[in-house]
């Protein structure tokens, strides 16, 4: 009978040790997930700041482009070597052309 009590005690010890290991594992997983969440939040804030910076840069470039386009006139284009032409050639989807597709659009 005493032997059965010792075996029962060993079973409880193994059970408690197993539950403690599970608890430590769950705490470790919680810490890892918490760290990943924090890292993703920091990365998202960094990307949002980069988006704001790029948007501001594009806005500056667009305003510079619009300013420069206002300076370009026909006389300025002639001074830079461009010439007038009378031929107008436009690409059309209705025209029969050689394509790699089997169907016509």
CA 31 – CA 29 distance, rounded (Å): 5
Q: Measured between alpha carbons, how far is 91 from 95 in angstroms, rounded to an integer? A: 8
Q: What are phi and psi of 31, to 5 degrees?
A: -65, -45
40-97 pLDDT, tens digit per residue, is 999 999 999 999 999 999 989 988 888 888 777 888 888 888 888 777 666 666 656 5
According to the model, what pLDDT value does residue 100 have? 56
Tell whether the model's pLDDT for residue 18 goes beyond 90: yes
- pTM reported for the whole predicted model: 0.49
Question: Do residues 94 and 104 make contact, with C-beta atoms less than 8 angstroms apart?
Answer: no
Burial 79-104 (b: 16+ CB within 10 A, else e): eeeeeeeeeeeeeeeeeeeeeeeeee
């Amino acid at each position: 009978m005493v032997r059965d009590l010792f075996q029962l005690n060993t079973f409880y010890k193994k059970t408690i040790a197993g539950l403690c290991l599970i608890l430590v594992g769950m705490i470790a997983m919680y810490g890892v997930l918490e760290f990943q969440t924090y890292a993703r939040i920091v990365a998202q804030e960094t990307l949002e700041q980069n988006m704001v910076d790029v948007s501001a840069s594009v806005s500056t470039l667009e305003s510079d482009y619009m300013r420069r386009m206002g300076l370009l006139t026909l006389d300025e284009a002639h001074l830079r070597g461009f010439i007038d032409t009378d031929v107008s050639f436009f690409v059309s989807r209705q025209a029969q052309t050689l394509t790699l597709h089997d169907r016509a659009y």
